[in-house]
């Protein structure tokens, strides 16, 4: 018979350690976080910590795996619903909701799991893990559209993906620094417009501001 009480205690311990770890990671790099201070902050005995993890890095690995699973679970419905029949990426793409829906889902997932952002995008975060998290959404999205990108070669798509992924890391870092005050929908729309139109996104914004100014 499964010991549900023990499972609940284990889950509580994990939750306390996860919260304490992400709080500490906001203040210092992982190399400076000790098991002693982590356990003190979490209110967990060190013997309990070592019953589950080898060291701080082992805890980080477990956290990252769980974050990937949580993120993938949240994105799966969006990816399957949004990429079944991907249209060509032409001017009409601006009206196509699937790509925007996926991007909105990615930003919503990150906002709902702010500790993911702390671990991946904070000052002391793991940028390699940030790329891994983002790839869950972007690879699926680009794969669905790859046949419609005007005959782009696999190598071109690879470079485009690298460019887009790193650009989005910068966007997400800026969003995190500002306390995620910009809405999820606005961030998703901005990301889509930058990805599809590059500098035209800025020209369009400037033109809109000019029209607003002249209309006043």
pLDDT in tens, 37-94: 999 999 999 999 999 999 999 998 888 888 888 878 877 776 665 444 444 444 444 3
The DSSP H or E segment spanning 51 is helix 46-52
What pLDDT shows up at residue 44?
A: 96
* Per-chain mean pLDDT for the chain: 76
Distance, CA of 134 to CA of 189 (rounded, Å): 17
Mark 171-196 as b/e (b = at least 16 C-beta within 10 Å): bbbebbeeebeeebeebbebbbbbbe
Phi, psi angle pair for 31, to nearest 5°: -60, -25
**Higher confidence at residue 199 or residue 30?**
30
pLDDT at 12 over 70: yes
Distance, CA of 26 to CA of 167 (rounded, Å): 22
Q: Read off the pLDDT band of 114 (50, 70, 90).
A: confident
Residues 10-24, mean pLDDT to the nearest whole number: 91
What pLDDT shows up at residue 147?
A: 56
Radius of gyration of the chain (CA): 21
Domains of the chain: 4-53 (1.10.10.60), 65-215 (1.10.357)
Which among 13, 186, 15 is positioned nearest to 111, based on CA atoms? 186
What pLDDT shows up at residue 91?
A: 44
The DSSP H or E segment spanning 58 is helix 56-82
What pLDDT shows up at residue 24?
A: 92
Residues 88 and 152: beta-carbon distance below 8 Å = no
Helix spans in 124-198 (H): 127-145, 154-177, 184-197
Tokens of 165: 């992924």
pLDDT in tens, 123-162: 777 777 777 777 776 666 666 556 556 677 778 877 877 7
Specify the pTM.
Answer: 0.66
pLDDT at 204 over 60: no
Phi, psi angle pair for 173, to nearest 5°: -60, -45
Q: Which CB contacts under 8 angstroms, 24+ apart, belong to 82-87? A: 82/141, 82/144, 83/140, 83/141, 83/143, 83/144, 83/145, 86/144, 86/145, 86/147, 86/148, 87/148
């Amino acid at each position: 018979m499964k010991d549900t009480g023990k499972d609940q205690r284990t889950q509580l311990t994990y939750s306390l350690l996860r919260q304490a770890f992400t709080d500490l990671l906001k203040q210092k790099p992982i190399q400076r976080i000790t098991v002693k201070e982590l356990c003190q902050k979490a209110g967990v005995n060190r013997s309990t910590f070592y019953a589950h993890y080898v060291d701080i890095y082992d805890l980080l690995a477990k956290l990252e795996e769980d974050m990937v699973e949580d993120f993938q679970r949240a994105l799966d419905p969006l990816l399957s619903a949004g990429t079944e029949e991907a249209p060509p990426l032409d001017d009409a793409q601006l009206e196509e909701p699937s790509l925007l829906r996926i991007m909105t889902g990615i930003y919503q997932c990150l906002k709902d799991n702010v500790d993911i952002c702390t671990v991946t995008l904070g000052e002391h975060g793991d940028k390699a893990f940030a790329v891994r998290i983002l790839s869950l959404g972007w690879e699926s999205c680009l794969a669905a559209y790859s046949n419609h990108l005007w005959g782009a070669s696999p190598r071109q798509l690879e470079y485009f993906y690298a460019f887009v992924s790193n650009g989005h890391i910068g966007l997400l870092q800026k969003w995190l620094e500002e306390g995620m005050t910009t809405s999820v929908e606005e961030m998703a729309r901005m990301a889509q417009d930058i990805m599809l139109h590059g500098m035209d996104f800025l020209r369009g914004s400037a033109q809109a501001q000019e029209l607003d100014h002249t209309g006043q």
